[in-house]
Amino acid sequence: MSGLLEGRIASVTGGGSGIGRAIALGYAKEGARVVVLDANAETAGQTEKSIQEAGAKAWSFKLDVTERDTCRQVAAQIAEKIGQVSILVNNVRIPAKATSRSDAWRPPIPIDDDQGGAGA
């Protein structure tokens, strides 16, 4: 039986550890090609390696999701080198009270810490 995500490209923020790593490994198991994004390049690379050792395709990029320009640059690199991403897993939470490192950046949807998540 082929995987549920054959032919898909999935990107996972925070894919270097915890929930994001579990999602990345699980998606790869289902046949997706996985782009692992994390502010920690080392752990992102470890997830990439684990996926490749399991026989699936993966790439990793160092990305801090609060840096808008870097997000754009990495997205362009992914589109050019890997292809069109069809699954976006925005796993990294930006704390509501955190000061953005880019003044131009605003989260695409409101984040409400007190309610346990976006739009709750």
Ligand X SMILES: NC(=O)c1ccc[n+]([C@@H]2O[C@H](COP(=O)([O-])OP(=O)(O)OC[C@H]3O[C@@H](n4cnc5c(N)ncnc54)[C@H](O)[C@@H]3O)[C@@H](O)[C@H]2O)c1
Contact residues for ligand X (CB under 6 A)?
A: 13-14, 16-20, 38-40, 43, 63-66, 91-93
Q: Which is nearer to ligand X, 30 or 64 (CB)?
A: 64
Query: In whole angstroms, how close is the CB of 57 to ligand X at the nearest point?
Result: 21
Rounded distance, CA 64 to CA 53, Å? 26
Q: Which is nearer to ligand X, 57 or 93 (CB)?
A: 93
Cβ pair 14, 22 in contact under 8 A? no
Q: Which is nearer to ligand X, 1 or 120 (CB)?
A: 120
Alpha helices in the chain (DSSP H): 18-29, 41-53, 68-81
Residue number with the smallest Cβ distance to ligand X? 18
Write down the number of H helices and E strands in the chain: 3, 4
Query: In whole angstroms, how close is the CB of 62 to ligand X at the nearest point?
Result: 9
